[in-house]
Amino acid sequence: MNLKALAPYGSFIVCSMIWGSTFLFIRIGNETVPALWAATLRLFLASMILGVLVFITRQKFPKGASLRAALVYGFFQFGMNFALLYWSERIIPSGVAAVLYATIPLSMALFARAFGLERLNPLKFISALLALVGVVVIFSGELNSNVPLLPLFMALMAATSASLATMFLKRVPPQPAIASNAVGSAIGAVVCFVGSFIMGESHEIPLAFEQWLPILYLTIMGSVVAFVSFAWLLNHWSATSVSFETVIVPVIAVILGAIVRSEQLAPTSFLGAALVLVAVVIALLSDRPKTTSFEKR
């Protein structure tokens, strides 16, 4: 297998590793900056950086149907998804939020079938269920029964919004990853800014280093590196295969929680991690990159 063929796998690993850390950084950032205001700052900075990269790389901003898809993608992926996730992580632990995002392969498979983008591959669906079981095993001993229902529901809706966003971007022909994410981040910043006003948050510019550190990390690594890699990967793999990043992410989140915050892993967590990894391998082998719908066109 040549380097070009290995590139999607590398992108898959990069996105998984970065997003495995973002839940923790969102939780840390919420301790010093109002949640939706932090999301707004992150997305505003990301849109500026991505906009500059568009001109440096001489990419073209999407037009017509591609622009409409990028706008809707930004509304759901960066606007609704981030607003709901940041708000929910004011209350629920970052690991719990990561668990709820492991439902994305299931909702992604159903959305892809509903949008007519992919057939509902039985093996892939079974893999998603196996992965979800693995995630549940990891966190079964960690979940606090006193966690409020509303933020849990909001985090689940955030994950569902992310699934829906991917469908809109996948419906149009492949477009430059940097440009589409620049547009999406700008729209997302507006949505989060409006949500911040509705929530009555303060809008002071952070001054302390500990306030800016999570925002800058989430901007550069989470919004620029990871989401550009994600958009590029969508042009090479099917949506449901890409979505299996979300079942690796909770495993990474558990490990980081143990390292950064000295969280103790339950013995069953190792079994759950093994189930997740096996499920991802099965899913990727069941849908090789050469079989994507775009490459058939």
Q: How many CB atoms lie within 10 A of CB 94?
A: 22
Mean pLDDT within 68-80:
91
Q: Specify the pLDDT at position 279.
A: 78
Please state the rounded mean pLDDT for residues 248-270.
74
Q: Which residue has the higher pLDDT, 153 or 139?
A: 153
Give the closest residue to 123 by CA, choosing from 247, 280, 233, 9. Answer: 280
User: Can you spell out the DSSP letters for the chain?
Assistant: --HHHHHHHHHHHHHHHHHHHHHHHHHHHTTTS-HHHHHHHHHHHHHHHHHHHHHHTT-----HHHHHHHHHHHIIIIIIHHHHHHHHTTTS-HHHHHHHHTTHHHHHHHHHHHTTSS---HHHHHHHHHHHHHHHHHHTTT--TTS-HHHHHHHHHHHHHHHHHHHHHHTSPP--HHHHHHHHHHHHHHHHHHHHHHTT---PPP-SHHHHHHHHHIIIIIIIIIHHHHHHHHTTS-HHHHTTHHHHHHHHHHHHHHHHS-PPPPTHHHHHHHHHHHHHHHHHHHS-GGG-HHHH-
Q: Is the pLDDT of residue 266 over 70?
A: no
Residues 6+ apart with CB under 8 A from 250: 20, 95, 98, 99, 101, 102, 135, 138, 139, 276
Q: Is 176 left (phi over 0), alpha (psi -120 to 50) or beta?
A: beta
Residues 234, 181: contact at Cβ < 8 Å?
A: no
Out of 31-45, 110-124, 215-229, the most confident range is: 31-45
pLDDT band for 219, please (50, 70, 90 cuts): very high
Express each pLDDT in 172-217 by its tens digit.
666 777 888 899 999 999 999 999 999 999 999 998 999 999 999 9
Q: Which residue has the higher pLDDT, 86 or 276?
A: 86
Give the whole-angstrom CA distance, residue 72 versus residue 27: 27
Of residues 211 and 235, the one with the higher pLDDT is 211
**Locus of tokens 């840390």:** 28
pTM: 0.80
Tell me, what's the pLDDT at 82? 96
Measuring CA to CA, which residue among 207, 242, 208, 183 is closest to residue 48? 183
Residue 229 in this model has a pLDDT that exceeds 90 = no
Task: Say if residue 38's pLDDT is above 70.
Answer: yes
Averaged pLDDT for residues 6-23: 86
Lowest mean pLDDT among 104-108, 143-147, 276-280: 143-147
